[in-house]
Amino acid sequence: MNTGEIKFQRSRKGDLSGWVRVDSPVDLFESAALFRKDKVRVCKSNKKITSAVTEDVFIKCYFYNNLWSQFRHRIRISRARHSTLCALAVKKAGVATPAPWGFFREYGVFLPLRDYLFTDVLPPDTVFMTRYVCEAPEESAHKIVECMAKLHDNGIEHGDLSFRNIYITDTGEAGVIDLDGCRLGKAPLNNSVRTRELARVISSAAQNNPSLPIDEFKRMFLEFYRKHCSTDLSGSALDSRTSYLYNRRRA
């Protein structure tokens, strides 16, 4: 097996290097071996990605199952590396996310077969927004908008701000996971991207707490977003996007 990086390579953006754990507390190769032997607790699995926990480390494995996918990822930045760099940027913006430990790529002969990402594991009693929004809907909206403001003002688009990817930290703030769709852009983000992200959290809130009408969630999120970002995103673009996502998820 020909492999690439075992340890996390320090970001060339020097001011980010202090946010990562360069030396992993576990043997990443051994963790990957356990992963391949299915000696792990699988959290999510499909044809392209499997997420699992072993030896107190979270592992996400990206599979490249056909020649086209292997050729394409041979010349592109690996998804594991991309997620790591996004995690560094998210942490630098002041938003919690599981700390990356390392990543490496597994090759066949010349083409990549898998990319591995290793991060901290969230505590088993972690409260996700899917539950918290039912217990405290207005407080949930406030925490999420505070988190979004930090990301958006630093040019970070999460890409999938559904409530299953937002959790409550020990300090009571909102943290995020699953940075596969994350994009790092020019700060601050433009209003079309902000609208897209806000519509996603509003529709997710309404889906997870059907006891409140979606218009009430829209009011709360818009009010908090205006307060924290000094930006009013109300209008037909937000209404249509929110309605589309809400009805698509309910279908």
Provide the pLDDT for residue 22: 45
Q: Locate 19 and state its tokens.
A: 């946010």
CA dist 126 and 228 (Å) reads: 26
Q: Which range among 34-48, 115-129, 220-234 has the greatest average pLDDT?
A: 220-234
The rounded Cα 2 to chain-centroid distance in angstroms is 29
| β-pair partners for 57 | 54
Better-predicted residue by pLDDT, 35 or 64: 64
Provide the pLDDT for residue 6: 34
The CATH number given to 14-119 is 3.30.200
Provide the pLDDT for residue 97: 96
> Quick one: which of 89, 101, 91 has its CA closest to 60?
101
Q: Is the pLDDT reported for residue 1 higher than 50?
A: no
Provide the pLDDT for residue 148: 97
Show me where the domains of the chain are located.
Answer: 14-119, 129-250
In the predicted model, what is the mean pLDDT of residues 113-139? 91
Better-predicted residue by pLDDT, 47 or 25: 47
CA dist 20 and 208 (Å) reads: 33
Yes or no: say if 198 and 221 are a contact pair by the CB < 8 Å rule. yes
pLDDT, one tens digit per residue, over 135-168 is 999 999 999 999 999 999 999 999 999 999 999 9
* AA identity, residue 47: K
Output the DSSP codes for 207-220. Answer: HH-TTS-HHHHHHH
* AA identity, residue 189: L
Least confident of 46-50, 127-131, 138-142: 46-50
Provide the pLDDT for residue 206: 95
pLDDT band at 36 (very low <50, low <70, confident <90, very high): low
Yes or no: say if 107 and 141 are a contact pair by the CB < 8 Å rule. no
Q: How does the average pLDDT of the chain come out, rounded?
A: 84
CA dist 11 and 19 (Å) reads: 10
The CATH architecture annotation of domain 129-250 reads Orthogonal Bundle (1.10)
Between the CA of residue 77 and those of 84, 85, 173, what are the distances in Å? 11, 11, 31
Residue length of the chain: 251
Better-predicted residue by pLDDT, 174 or 34: 174
Q: Is the pLDDT reported for residue 92 higher than 80?
A: yes
* AA identity, residue 129: M
Between the CA of residue 13 and those of 10, 52, 88, 125, 181, what are the distances in Å? 8, 30, 10, 34, 21
Provide the pLDDT for residue 41: 83
Better-predicted residue by pLDDT, 89 or 13: 89
Q: Do domains 14-119 and 129-250 have the same CATH topology?
A: no
Output the DSSP codes for 92-104. Answer: HTT-B-PPEEEEE
Better-predicted residue by pLDDT, 227 or 187: 227
Better-predicted residue by pLDDT, 118 or 148: 148
Phi, psi of 66, rounded to the nearest 5 degrees = -140, 165
Q: Is the pLDDT reported for residue 212 higher than 70?
A: yes
Bridge-based pairing of strands 41-45 and 49-54 is antiparallel
